[in-house]
Amino acid sequence: MAGAAPYSAWRQQANTYYVSGQLPIDPKTGKFPSGIAAQTQTALENLERVTAEFNCSRQDVVKTTVFLRNFDDFASMNEVYARFFADPYPARSAFAVADLMPGADIEIEAIVAKQ
């Protein structure tokens, strides 16, 4: 699960999985897409890719935390987020943070419960 960095992409406790923050890194190019909408979509797709590692999907996500470089991006992020998840939506917290990885405007972490 972990590479050179001292953390795991996810950890399991019983039927609950804790997924580390997913950056909007395009897995094909290794770069960040331009704009908060594209970055939100990519971060969510990366989150879904991680959940697939333990045979879960976006429907199993029960809580997310969204970190935004600029809280003015909230409305655009929220539009993409609302299309990605379905009702009942995950519980969510969203914060503006002082800094993220250079080039990233968003990071999303999650708690996933296997049904």
- The predicted model gives 72-98 an average pLDDT of 97
1 pLDDT higher than 70: no
* Domains with residue ranges and CATH for the chain: 10-113 (3.30.1330.40)
3-state class (DSSP) for residue 18:
strand
Using CA atoms, how far apart are residues 36 and 99, in angstroms rounded to an integer? 15
What percent of the chain has a predicted confidence (pLDDT) above 70?
97
Using CA atoms, how far apart are residues 19 and 60, in angstroms rounded to an integer? 12
Convert the pLDDT of each residue in 50-76 to its tens digit.
999 999 999 999 999 999 999 999 999
C-beta of residue 111 within 8 angstroms of C-beta of residue 61? yes
16 pLDDT higher than 90: yes
Residue 95 phi/psi, 5-degree rounding, is -135, 145
Neighbours of 3 (CB within 10 A): 8
Neighbours of 53 (CB within 10 A): 12
Convert the pLDDT of each residue in 33-52 to its tens digit.
999 999 999 999 999 999 99
Q: What is the pTM assigned to this prediction? A: 0.93
3-state class (DSSP) for residue 78:
helix
